[in-house]
Amino acid sequence: IILTQSPASLAVSLGERATFDCKSSQSLLFDLNNKNYLAWYQQKPGQPPKLLISWASVRESGVPDRFTGSGSGTDFTLTISSLQDEDVAVYYCQQYLITAAVTFGGGTKVEL
Amino acid sequence: EVQLVDSGGGSVQPGESLRLTCTASGLMLTDYWMSWVRQAPGKGLEWVANIKQDGSEKFYVDSVKGRFTIARDNAKNSVYLQMNNLKVEDTAVYYCARAMVRGILWQIFDHWGQGTLVAVSS
């Protein structure tokens, strides 16, 4: 499964909204449980990735509510409602529908 | 402190081998799927391999099949990546990562090691 993220980079002003996309080459919606097998991670320079969202829209504990995941099937979006300094990072989507072939998108770099 | 510690990276020549180790402190790995994920310099994330709780299932990205082997020792709360016949394109920071849900195969990674650098060059 190929995940294509767009744009590759994005410049946003403090307090403004940031929106970026992840498109899958095949549906990530599993019929049996009606769940989308997509996660979002944030990675800052020199650090490992941090899980933000799983199941396309379920925010992890401690993640600020300005982060929102949406979408279903093949098209997904991560929105930061009001960009803060600490949100400057690279964001990756990841599919886990196929345990034997996990894949990540190419990333979106968010800058001020 | 809850953490995964990656170690074993280094600088090697093409064709050589390395063994990476991921050890956990403050959290158990025994009941969880574990993965290795790598990141080439300035590039994105690439999943490399994963292993089931009891080691009975292992999967690899195509580019490392036949060269890398993932293993685990639950008694030592550790996971390993044996890398043979290394190539220049294997140069990357390697992270171990734990799947979030105990006993389930969903590869949602909630704990990551700090990474260990593998540099392959002649």
Query: Does A49 contact chain B (CB < 8 Å)?
Result: yes
Q: Which of A48, A60, A96 sits opposite B107 (nearest CB)?
A: A96
Q: Which pLDDT does position B105 carry in this prediction?
A: 86
* B50/A99 Cβ within 8 A: yes
Each of the 122 residues of chain B gets a pLDDT tens digit; together they read 789 999 999 999 999 999 999 999 888 899 999 999 999 999 999 999 999 999 999 999 999 999 999 999 999 999 999 999 999 999 999 999 999 888 888 999 999 999 999 999 99
Q: How far apart are CA B97 and CA A3, in angstroms?
A: 20
Closest chain A C-alpha to B117 CA, distance in angstroms: 12
CB distance B117 to B89 below 8 Å = no
Q: How far apart are CA B42 and CA B19, in angstroms?
A: 23
